Amino acid sequence: MTFVFGLCIGSFMNVVIWRLPRNGSLVEPQWSYCPNCSHRLSALDLVPLLSYLMRGRRCKYCSKPISSRYFWVELLTGVLFGVLYFHFRHDAANAVALLLFAAILVPIFCIDLERFEIPNQLNLLVFVIAVARDVYGVATREAGHSLVWHWLPVSILGAVVGVVIFGSIRVIGWIWKRQEAMGLGDVLLARAMGAMLVSVVPLGANPLRLLPIWVLLSCGSGAIIGPFHMWFRHRQAAALTAGAGLGAGGASDEDEEPVDESSLALELRDIGYALWLEDAYEYIRYIFSKHETVTPELDDEEWTPAPSAIPFGPFMVAGFIMTLFAGEPLTAMYLAFAIPKAISAGTAAP
């Protein structure tokens, strides 16, 4: 049942992936439509997985191909819901919180992979879910959710540590290369993940116990897969250049590197932006302001990232998911290997 529920949630996540980065509304129009011909889709067109396969992977109204992403997002969300429920079925609060959290990670993963951006609304929502889980534990006097220093929710401590770790990478990268090394969206995502991970540590353990392995798995997956991603993008860019008739010696204004107007002060300012929840203030102000509803277009103009750029959000999502299932065994294995050596070295006879 959880798997089927995840399929349905994945179907809606496809709507989020398409509309949100294009400034479209998630409630207007109130129905789904083909992104090619804009025809309204019926209920039979929206059965998760089956409609895509039975229609031959094409829209039945305009016969144009439908991206395979719709199928894989639904399947991925269903599988993710199933395995998370199975792993955390003995902890209802964590199971519900992680299902909600993981559902939002799916569009974060896909949008950042495709467009090199993470919408602030999604980063803010996963942060709220993580803090709400901890506050619920504090309110119900759940073990492992006591206040740090008798006033600070442990989720806030995890969020601050997450921002400091990845914010430091952003600042150090700028000092080294004099250009933005990590997007602010990644730092905001780290805030939410740090706040969530403190709720899944074993009872009696340090609440920050899983953060080191999460950072290691995120950076490790990026270091392994990132070069292949850059190589693939280079091949795509070369194919587009050849198709445009520019040739090997041709040049184009689009090939020029964008001017980086960042500075160390701005990099530090962005860390404060994440710590002081200025994105929440901006979003609340946006909700109560008058703005027009935008209909997403298929051929909208997109920002072109630098050839060496890598979307780090997907690797953070992968590292977070791996930490949920393997973080504690890996941490325990390392501590069992490291601590006895430290003790024996300290007690050895001179």
**What is the tens place of the pLDDT at every residue in 266-281?**
888 888 888 988 888 8
Residue 152 CB: number of other CB atoms within 10 A?
A: 11
Cα–Cα distance for residue pair 33/13, rounded to 1 Å? 14
pLDDT at 144: 84
Per the listing, tokens 């920050």 go with 208
The rounded percent of the chain whose pLDDT value lies above 70 is 84
Mean pLDDT of the chain: 85
State the pLDDT at residue 220.
93
pLDDT tens for each residue of 95-118: 999 999 999 999 999 999 989 999
Measured between alpha carbons, how far is 165 from 182 in angstroms, rounded to an integer? 12
How far apart CA 47 and CA 207 sit, in angstroms, is 41
CA dihedral 149, 152, 157, 163 (to 10 degrees): -130
Over residues 135-172, the pLDDT tens digits come to 999 999 998 898 988 889 999 999 999 999 999 998 89
pTM of the prediction? 0.87
Q: In this predicted structure, what is the pLDDT of residue 56?
A: 85
